[in-house]
Amino acid sequence: MPLIVEKYGGTSVGSIERIQAVAHNIVQSVKRDEKIVVVVSAMSGETNRLLGLAKELETRPSEREIDVLISTGEQVTIALLSIALQARNIDAKSYTGSQIRILTNQIHGQARILEVDCEKVRSDLDRGRVVVVAGFQGVDRDNNITTLGRGGSDITAVAMAAALKADECRIYTDVEGVYTADPRVVPEATRLDRITFEEMLELSGAGAKVLQTRSVEFAGKYNVPLRVLSSFQPGPGTLITYEEQSMEQPLISGITANLDEAKVTVRGVPDKPGIAYNILGPISKAHVNVDMIVQNIGSNGLTDLTFTVAGADLDKSIEVLQPVVKELEAEAIVGDTDLAKISIVGVGMRSHAGIATTMFEALANKLINIQMISTSEIKISVTIDKEYAELALRTLHKAFNLEHVGSE
Ligand code: ADP
Ligand code: ASP
Ligand code: MG
């Protein structure tokens, strides 16, 4: 019997009607003689609602207690879904992350999975049960509840699939697969039948939230067959695959905008060796990921260092850097959230020159000013004013003819 891990995101389990629909979907899988492990998210909006409650009490609440709080969202949906399955005569059993024992490190809010104990799950599956697992959470070695970062139910599903050596990990969501751009922003976006792990990793990392970045990384590393599909409509979805020589590669597979980045500029730093280290060292120690970095050419012995971080990390970054700025005798530190990072991604870029020129020309024609640029082998990212993000996406979608790349 094939073993399948099915993950249902927040919108897919966002109401009792949706939970009924998901239960119906799982019954179909069981009827196809598939062994099923289900991973669910909290009902849509619930994690944010819980975070809002904590913020009403304290602006910087304890990270440990936040994890205790927000992990409850998934505990609600595992129980409701199991009840819905039992009402359909399916023997279902729910587990929280700590009950399974999804062991993680101790970084609250961004914990990494170290080990998954599959014993209980296997024995339930052998008894013909459907196992329902709470996404987004684990437990550290001191039994503290941890969470895996926003969108983290995806990695729970992938980790369960890897540990169980599942035949497929199906990520059910509210769109019909991975598109050339977010179909809610670019109506002309088309669904890709396939996309490579590498491209998906870059797209997710650049803000396409259809899959959590770390889940893609994990699936690529452990060879987990991964498919994204809709829980609302039947269809083939998008398969995430390894690159095959024979695959005909579009030049660009997708474009995405990240509106959640913030820019930090340290102005007027004395221009001498060690600036980047002195400024970015404390940032990384505070577990803040830095994305783009620009150090301007200095004049009069002074220079500026600018970098981007996740918007949620802006306050923390500035706080961490206040003493550093003093120590370095820099002029000022400035935060800015009014930016969008626009990225184009495609393995075809490796063998084609001129992609960046097409991108810059298309943006210039719309009078969109580029602030920062960064590139990788298969990605080009630029930051621009936030207000032009949608225009930039649509413009680039057209410039690279992406409406003809996918299936719909
Ligand atoms: P879930 O709650 O199921 O985890 P998410 O909201 O995390 O769902 O992810 C699905 C959303 O990702 C879609 O509703 C869509 O708006 C967005 N999205 C962004 N970029 C893309 C893309 N390239 N292809 C498909 N969806 C995308
Ligand atoms: N509920 C969590 C979140 O909103 C995890 C998830 O949905 O994947 O981020
Ligand atoms: Mg998600």
pLDDT in tens, 32-47: 999 999 999 999 999 9
Per-residue model confidence (pLDDT) at position 243: 76
**Per-residue confidence (pLDDT) for residue 339, from 0 to 100:** 97
Q: From the CA of 148, which ligand is nearest? A: 2
Starting at the edge strand found earlier in the chain, the sheet holding 145-147 runs 113-116, 102-104, 137-139, 145-147
Task: Kindly tell me the sign of the dihedral angle through the C-alpha atoms of 234, 219, 382, 332.
Answer: positive
Residues of the chain with pLDDT under 50: none
In sequence order, which residues have a C-beta less than 8 Å from that of residue 243 and are 6 or more positions away?
196, 198, 249, 347
The mean pLDDT of the chain is 95
Atom of ligand 1 nearest to the CA of 172: 3
- Among protein residues, the one with the nearest Cα to ligand 1's atom 5 is 210
Pocket of ligand 1 (CB under 6 A): 9-12, 41, 151, 173-175, 178-179, 181-184, 208-210, 254, 256
Is 325 in contact with 333 (CB distance < 8 Å)?
yes
Predicted confidence at residue 351, as pLDDT, reads: 84
- Nearest residue CA, atom 6 of ligand 2? 151
Going by C-beta distance under 8 Å and a sequence separation of 6 or more, which residues neighbour residue 79?
A: 94
Sequence-distant (6+) residues with CB within 8 A of 339 are: 261, 262, 263, 308, 371, 383, 384, 385, 386
